[in-house]
Amino acid sequence: MGATLWVLGSAGWMPRAGQETSCFLLEVADQLVMLDAGTGVANLDLAVEALRRHDRLSVLLSHYHLDHLVGLMYLKRFAEGKRVDVYGPGRPAYPKSTEDYVGDMLQGALYSGGSRGFAREVRYHDYGGQDFRVGDLPISVRPQSHSAPSFELRVGDLMTYATDTTFSAVAWEDCAPSRALLHECWQLGAGDPRHTSAKALVAGLPRERFGKVLLIHHNPSWDDGQRAEVERVAARGGIELAHDGMVISL
Ligand SMILES: [Zn+2]
Ligand SMILES: [Zn+2]
């Protein structure tokens, strides 16, 4: 079963020129799945044909930090006639449900449409840290280490999405293979303990289990020199940097 992946937002924290925050779109058979809904939702113009083919969109959230969530309100432009199912960690991983957190963000005083105003029909689901299904697609869930509970999401054997996490080589020793791994990279070497460095990933990732490994959630503070250095270290491990607008056949 083939699939297509669009990189719509490859930055973390905040957008910068040409780089929106976390958002990825996956089309597989009759499913259209979005991984996180950062400002990269604004790049959905890049996948307009795929949007036309589906009247339903499933949005999978790794966690609720705003750089992964704020684009839900942009969906109105692209999904107004669609049904959108939003899957977030919710209870018991968090004290409140996904619907509550999105409702807080899209409360009436801040966004006139409210938490159900960005599509024809919006449904909220809590996966609670457990595996779940989107139609026929199995989604495997693993807890990660971050400043708030965040979860690695693996879509069948197609792709593994690991963002907003510390990298631990031990946790990857028995990981399941997939055709692509999208893994966050925030820094070249040791630094912010809530995030991953390129050096740790190159040293500890069982690279051979993945067809392609792309670095995502780039630190917007990188200057060109720092970015080039991360790219050079990653390339030594057979790893590439993702960029907005990248389209990958899986
Ligand atoms: Zn983030
Ligand atoms: Zn985060």
pLDDT tens digits for range 24-77: 999 998 999 999 999 999 999 999 999 999 999 999 999 999 999 999 999 999
Count of CB atoms situated within 10 Å of the CB of 224 = 7
Task: pLDDT band for 2, please (50, 70, 90 cuts).
Answer: confident
Give the domain 3-249 fold: Metallo-beta-lactamase; Chain A (3.60.15)
Q: Which of 188, 185, 201 is nearest to 230 (CA)?
A: 188
For the chain, percent of residues with pLDDT exceeding 70: 100
* Cα(81) to centroid(ligand 2), Å: 30
Give the N- to C-terminal CA distance of the chain in Å, as an integer: 9
- The one-letter amino acid code at 69 reads L
Nearest ligand, CA of residue 36? 1
Q: What is the pTM of this model?
A: 0.97
Indicate which ligand has the atom closest to the C-alpha of 11: 1
Ligand closest to 13 (CA) is: 1
What pLDDT band is residue 121 in, cutting at 50, 70 and 90? very high
Please give the distance, rounded to the nearest whole angstrom, from the Cα atom of residue 65 to the centre of ligand 2.
Answer: 5
Q: Is the pLDDT of residue 1 over 80?
A: no
DSSP single-letter state for residue 177 = P
State in Å: Cα 65 to ligand 1 middle.
6
User: How far away, in angstroms, is 41 Cα from ligand 1 center?
Assistant: 15
- Nearest-ligand number for the alpha carbon of 40: 1
Q: Any idea which ligand is nearest the CA of 67?
A: 1
Q: Which of 11, 34, 24, 47 is nearest to 118 (CA)?
A: 34
Split at pLDDT 50, 70, 90, the class of 235 is very high
Distance (angstroms) between ligand 2 centre and the Cα of 2 equals 30
Task: Return the residue matching tokens 């990248």.
Answer: 246
Rounded distance from Cα 150 to ligand 2 centre (Å): 7
When comparing pLDDT for 249 and 2, which is higher?
249
Which ligand is the nearest neighbour of the Cα of 89?
2
Tens digit of each residue's pLDDT (9 = 90 or more) over 14-32: 999 999 999 999 999 899 9
Q: Which ligand is nearest to the CA of 68?
A: 1
Measured CA to CA in angstroms, residue 173 lies from 86, 205, 208, 216 at distances of: 31, 8, 12, 21
What's the 1 CA to ligand 1 centre distance in angstroms?
A: 30
Residue 69 alpha carbon to ligand 1 centre in Å: 9
Query: Whole-number mean pLDDT of the chain?
Result: 97
pLDDT average, residue stretch 116-134? 97
Ligand with an atom nearest the CA of residue 23: 1
